[in-house]
Structure 1
């Protein structure tokens, strides 16, 4: 065989082998992608299993009652006792078997017990019924995301007449608020049904259904809390709302009265993205930056000028006495 013929045959063999090698490489990468997808699916199932186990452990926590200690019942009593600095305090609402460490917001007149904070989306709010009942997240830091718990919220708002205050901030730094009179959460046997009264504020009335003003509302009998493992007013619709928003909430109908959406990446993105929405302000396709919710006794008396003012203790586990004892 001549040298040119040999070279030609080698070039031909090389050109045929190249596509074969490329196809093998693509097939290998496809197999790798499928393998990684299986790993991700397994990890997700494992996380959900751990979450379910944690929920079961929460249900088995014994109700160890405290002795007769004179603790503040809420942040309103903390404030009324001269503590005007926002921070962690220890309270024990009437009927609570244990003390609670809560974040007290002393702005806007003071005495607010913060029960929900959403800021940066680091904390998942796609939680079980038991987790929402007991609470979750980081309530110890001023920027931590958390839910205080439906049972503590029920105990707090069953002590008397409470106001609900909600602060919202959009991506441009604009701030608005919503405030409701006569805010109350029922106990677990009534699925933590929510009640709100008169609305005021600048953010818009996103809890209009809970006020019972719409005769055509599907929740005329009240709005019950829903999670993915414990639907509220209607199993099909509640499950759809929970999956849609990736959070527990007092759902009545998807597309209304729900600020507990996950954090969007920016305005005008799809609902499958992560975001917090306050629909009566910016609509459902806009991500607001944060939502903070808090309650305060409606009959809180403001401190007189020159009254003694104290800062919170350096040790957040310190138990404060009640101011009226």
Structure 2
């Protein structure tokens, strides 16, 4: 009997190896199932927390209508049931404000967006009211009253600070992740890629003069490259007034991290601001907040050549940076 079994194993050796590896395969499958189950539990906990924050906590009642709240929560809760399939993740949450607007939530306010690469939610201010043909702008920076101190170090600027409902900075790492978000379709026509976002600079001075300066291309490099920024494609309406790319090609500098190309001066320390400095600046929207009717200077929130737009060259009382995502099938 033993000889017969030996001959069978020699002739059908693959069966032997399969039987040998089967326990390891089963153990691996059980481990994957266990990890997926734990992840789903964590996602459900996050969803419940979001539900409490939106419907109970007053700090997050900036969604303008209960209908918007209920609609967004329904989609978020549904996404947790389909976040994982056979061990592979795919995203069904909103990754930026453009998608939130398209879903029918058209009121400006605070919304959670899903950072795929970090596997977490972050809160942003979605500007749905911006005077533009494109609706649903994701705010990554906003200055409006001087309540938040923007003279901070590297760690704060990487992490983010302030409150999305007022003055805030989303954080370099979050900005980097948001600018790389992509979403894929599940139909036979292939993936739908979100291209690199457009970026808009929303500006208003103390005289009430407003400008929305839009560029068609925004790309932020990683922390290893000190979040070097590439901005191109200035809106035709402003080409005769503002610089083509006032912050393009520069690394991010803070008072405690000198990454500018000025060998004679530390720009961030000199101007008490953290920004994409070169030698030293054509613009910086993170500078000290100006006093009422103060003239525009490099010592406060600054946008170069503003005097060509407003001859009074009045300081900016409001400044904000926003993303917009276009979709094209590929």
TM-score (normalizing by structure 1): 0.62
The CA deviation string for residues 181-223 of structure 1, in whole angstroms up to 9 with x for no partner, is 1111111111111111200144943562445xxxxxxxxxx21
Q: How does 1:213-224 map to 2 (within 5 A)?
A: 222-224=249-251
Alignment of 1:233 with 2:268, yes or no, is: no
Structure 1 residue aligned with 2:103: 81
- Out of 271, 296, 320, the residue aligned to residue 292 of structure 1 is 320
Quick one: distance in 2 between partners of 1:182 and 1:291?
A: 19
Runs (4 or more) in structure 1 with deviation over 6 Å come to none
Distance 1:270 1:87, change over 3 A: closer
Q: Compute the displacement of 1:96 (Å).
A: 2.0
Preserved CA contact (<8 Å) 2:296 2:316: no
Structure 2 residue aligned with 1:311: none
Structure 2 residue aligned with 1:242: 268
The CA deviation string for residues 241-282 of structure 1, in whole angstroms up to 9 with x for no partner, is 11232111011122413233212223348755xx32212213
Quick one: distance in 1 between partners of 2:99 and 2:199?
A: 16
Secondary structure at 1:189's aligned position in 2?
helix
- Out of 126, 129, 136, the residue aligned to residue 151 of structure 2 is 126
Q: Compute the displacement of 1:70 (Å).
A: 3.1
Alignment of 1:72 with 2:109, yes or no, is: no
Q: How does 1:246-285 map to 2 (within 5 A)?
A: 246-265=272-291, 266-268=293-295, 275-282=300-307
Structure 1 residue aligned with 2:167: 145
- Structure 2, unaligned runs of 5 or more: 1-38, 44-82, 84-90, 182-194
Quick one: distance in 2 between partners of 1:300 and 1:137?
A: 34
Which has the larger strand fraction? 2
Quick one: distance in 1 between partners of 2:145 and 2:206?
A: 11
Preserved CA contact (<8 Å) 1:116 1:294: yes
Quick one: distance in 1 between partners of 2:304 and 2:208?
A: 17
Distance 1:96 1:227, change over 3 A: same
- Out of 199, 203, 209, the residue aligned to residue 234 of structure 2 is 199
Secondary structure at 1:197's aligned position in 2?
strand
Higher RCO (CA 8 Å, separation ≥ 6 residues): 1
TM-score (normalizing by structure 2): 0.61
Distance 1:270 1:77, change over 3 A: closer
RMSD: 2.8
Quick one: distance in 2 between partners of 1:196 and 1:269?
A: 23
Q: Compute the displacement of 1:130 (Å).
A: 1.1
The CA deviation string for residues 62-82 of structure 1, in whole angstroms up to 9 with x for no partner, is xx9965363211111111211
Distance 1:243 1:129, change over 3 A: same
Distance 1:147 1:270, change over 3 A: closer
Preserved CA contact (<8 Å) 1:263 1:287: no
Larger radius of gyration: 1
